[in-house]
Chain A
């Protein structure tokens, strides 16, 4: 299963290695959807090369660029959970409803926090609302919804872990780093809970031999998220 990689740069999809014990059929029902979407994204790239009509939304540079990057990911997560909570999957339990509603609230809070914070810090540089693409997700299916949720949460954790070192050491940089820290641990709590709902005991199966979660670069993260975001995102000016 760990060989499930996107065709663009060999990034392992976070969902691929984290649900080792679900039935193959169930696994394919959501992991497979993500993989096929990665291929759709490649096809879309070709289309865009042909018409070359849009440079996409530019995240910008410096700390504001990193804030926009986080805002983009929180937009994706919040939109997903808003959809999940608006009509729960078949067979949802009351405890699952409670937890998924809580997570929706947290993610909407994160999204709106970034919107307010970026607007206050750099009103001309905030990215617009992104258009999302959830056509690959079967919102009536528990396996599809929770599998996608786990993939998003795990991706979010690796994104924040990788972005911390890109935040500046001066000005508001340290404040932003602490804020990112306040959010990433909540994303990790979400990830662990969703993992438990999918497969008991899988709360930290994302760790390597040193007991570490992964860290990913913005380019790696955005490539994995691309199938779920219709709006093209230009991250080329982000710090590295």
Chain B
């Protein structure tokens, strides 16, 4: 990612970006002075500094949110990097393998973007335990590399959790319009991934609990995943709270027609998760 790309990305969401930099001459001048002297490796840090100056605010809170997002993206990116090419992955059709590779590419790009924006403020990448064993390597998903259906169940949970995590942080990014818009632009892509994985899992009909119909959207607080009691309990945390049928004191059930039952009313709106809730969910995948 080069600087020009970053600015052209920013310009798409903030057409006045160049004016902002221009009117804040001090930031601009400082950056110009710095950029001539800095080694290439230090440029991201200078960019981060320029961001905060151009937008006139302390980036501490925003950086905290972006680092939270970065850790989630690292989790997703490493997961897809691990599975692409694995024995389980190779049992999938060409279409499925291409789709999972595209998702991997999206997640790797998200990591790169967030690392560039955060620069020196970026947190280190954790070590992951994709068995879900909190570092023991013996968690309920220990055999994931050999099973495409296990990989898809995990992917669904990661993507749906990611959607809820970004959604929950939107209001914490409102002070920085560029950061907010970028987060929203990632958020909708995570939802696309989730929908793809969910419709694929339905066609494969594997590890779906009896009595549940898996849809591209989340119905009530159903996980659509059955992987044994230990795994199910962990996965359920990603879906609790999705069953609500009322938004801003408006009851969605039967609104505008009797066909909007509780399932449709819950599915038409995705819900947020707090940072603490998300950290609890992903904890089993992170080596302490």
Chain A interfacial positions (CB closer than 8 Å to B): 78, 99, 101-102, 104-113, 116-117, 120, 157, 160-162, 164-165, 167, 169, 173-175, 177-179, 181-193, 195-196, 200-201, 203-204, 206-215
Contact = CB atoms under 8 A, between A and B. Distances in A.
A178 B171 contact: yes
A214 B12 CA distance: 8
Contacts of A185: 163, 167, 187-188, 190-191, 270
A195 B95 CA distance: 14
Top-4 shortest CB links A-B? A211-B109, A112-B256, A106-B268, A188-B191
A113 B271 contact: no
Interface string B96-113: 001100110111111011
A15 B113 CA distance: 26
Contact of A212 (B186, B191, B216, B257): B186
Interface of B: 1, 5, 9, 12-14, 95, 98-99, 102-103, 105-110, 112-113, 163, 166-167, 170-171, 174-175, 177, 180-182, 184-196, 199, 215-217, 247-250, 252, 255-257, 259-260, 264-265, 267-272
A191 B112 contact: no
Contact of B267 (A102, A175, A195, A212): A102
B113 A210 contact: yes
Given A113-B250, A193-B216, A188 B192 contact: yes
Contacts of A78: 256
A161 B95 contact: no
A164 B180 contact: yes
Contacts of B113: 210-212
A123 to B, nearest CB: 14
Interface of B is mostly: helix
A104 B107 CA distance: 30
A106 B188 contact: no
B268 A196 contact: no
28 contacts: A78-B256, A99-B215, A101-B259, A109-B255, A111-B256, A112-B252, A161-B185, A169-B174, A177-B174, A181-B166, A181-B170, A183-B269, A184-B187, A185-B163, A185-B190, A185-B191, A186-B268, A189-B194, A192-B192, A201-B102, A203-B192, A206-B192, A208-B9, A209-B5, A211-B108, A212-B186, A213-B189, A214-B185
B130 to A, nearest CB: 21
Interface of A is mostly: helix
Given A186-B217, A189-B192, A181 B260 contact: no
A232 to B, nearest CB: 25
Given A161-B185, A178-B171, A209-B109, A109 B264 contact: yes
A138 B52 CA distance: 50
Given A196-B196, A207-B106, A211-B113, A161 B215 contact: no
B185 A182 contact: no
Nearest to A173: B174
Contacts of A110: 268
Given A165-B177, A192-B192, 4 more contacts: A185-B191, A186-B267, A189-B217, A196-B196
A208 B8 CA distance: 12
A215 B179 CA distance: 13
B99 to A, nearest CB: 5
A193 B191 CA distance: 11
B13 A165 contact: yes
A233 B143 CA distance: 56
A108 B111 CA distance: 36
Contacts of B247: 113, 117, 179, 182
Contacts of A207: 106, 109, 189
A110 B257 CA distance: 12
B103 A109 contact: no
B225 to A, nearest CB: 17
